[in-house]
Structure 1
């Protein structure tokens, strides 16, 4: 059984043509899958629909075999699905520490929550140094670390990430993707990672799925995808 799967998923806005059209996708438990494609391919729309933020015209979304298609976003989070959207969404009025404690509020009792927050500081040392700083004072890289750490505190079964490296310096990107790879390997977390940074995404993923105009045009092991120049030139731009 897949940790997360879509069956015949169709998503669109208003009466227009579908953005995602009859998509079938399954992600094994503990796998890191890179979701790739040019701007407009449908990556963000797919992640938002999986998280319950976009309506589904047709098809099903399953989490560990449980049908989530008509469930609210809150129900999906409580079922073990978490989304880190593009844009480093943190509560900018709160401090780093307050953001992290908020992320673990409903998953942990007080003592366990403190230990979980401490673990996030170990994973992301820059956040430890800025723990009393307000979110609006953080750099782009620090905000992205905070958004990821807050999502991990909720202990999801499946983590959806939308362009986590967007706008980050190479060093910050390498650290972020490295933490993601290590966390997935250590905890068995399942990850669907939408990225324009194809090389970085394929370096941490076991598998790559390429979207074009809302349909899957390639689904291969990450190494095989990276080594296919014709496919890379046609759909990934390098």
Structure 2
């Protein structure tokens, strides 16, 4: 059974043409899957639909066999699905420490929450050094680490990441993707990673799924996908 699956998923905005059109996708438990495609391919729309932020016209979404399609975003989070959206969503008026405690508020009792926050500091040393810093003073890389740490505090079964490397320097990107790969390997976390940084995404994923106009045009092992020049040129721009 897939950790996350959708069948015949169709999603669109208003009365317009569908952005996601009859899409089938299954992600095995513990897998890191790179979701690739040009701008407008439907990557963000798919993640938002999976997270319950966009209504589904037709189709089904399941998490470990549980039906999610009709659930609210909050109930999907409580079921084990977490989304880190594009844009490094942190509360910029709060400190790093306050953001993290807020992220673990509903999942942990106070003593357990404190221990979980300390785990995040161990995982992201740059955040440990900036515990008392306000969110608006963080660099782009630090904000993305904080957004990822907040999501991990909820102990998700499946993590959806939308363009985590957007706007980051290469060093910060490498550090962030390295932490993601190590966390998934250590904990068995299932990850669907939407990225424009194709090389970086394929370096941490076991599998790559390429979207074009809301449909899957390729679904292959990451190494095989990276080595296919015709596919890369046609859909990935390199």
Calculate the TM-score normalised by the size of structure 1: 0.99
Q: Structure 1 residues 110-119 or 145-154, which shifts more?
A: 110-119
Measured on the aligned residues, the alpha-carbon RMSD in Å equals 0.5
In 1, Cα distance between equivalents of 2:184 and 2:107: 19
What is the aligned partner in structure 1 of residue 67 from structure 2? 67
- Provide, for residues 15-58 of structure 1, a one-character-per-residue CA deviation record: whole Å limited to 9, x for no partner: 11100000000000000000000000000000000000000000
In 1, Cα distance between equivalents of 2:129 and 2:181: 23
- Residue 174 (structure 1) shift: 0.5
SS in 2 for 1:219: strand
Aligned pairs for 1:50-89 within 5 A: 50-89=50-89
Runs (4 or more) in structure 1 with deviation over 3 Å come to: none
5+ long unaligned stretches in structure 1: none
- Provide, for residues 197-221 of structure 1, a one-character-per-residue CA deviation record: whole Å limited to 9, x for no partner: 0000000000000000000000000
5+ long unaligned stretches in structure 2: none
In 2, Cα distance between equivalents of 1:67 and 1:113: 29
- Provide, for residues 77-135 of structure 1, a one-character-per-residue CA deviation record: whole Å limited to 9, x for no partner: 00000000000000111100000011111111111111111111111111011110111
Calculate the TM-score normalised by the size of structure 2: 0.99
- Provide, for residues 113-164 of structure 1, a one-character-per-residue CA deviation record: whole Å limited to 9, x for no partner: 1111111111111101111011111111100000000000000000000000
In 2, Cα distance between equivalents of 1:67 and 1:59: 11
- Provide, for residues 150-202 of structure 1, a one-character-per-residue CA deviation record: whole Å limited to 9, x for no partner: 00000000000000000001110001000000000000000000000000000
SS in 2 for 1:122: helix
SS in 1 for 2:211: strand
In 1, Cα distance between equivalents of 2:153 and 2:190: 15
Aligned pairs for 1:1-238 within 5 A: 1-238=1-238
In 2, Cα distance between equivalents of 1:96 and 1:150: 10
- Residue 61 (structure 1) shift: 0.5
In 1, Cα distance between equivalents of 2:131 and 2:170: 23
In 2, Cα distance between equivalents of 1:123 and 1:147: 13
In 2, Cα distance between equivalents of 1:169 and 1:15: 39
In 1, Cα distance between equivalents of 2:150 and 2:17: 35
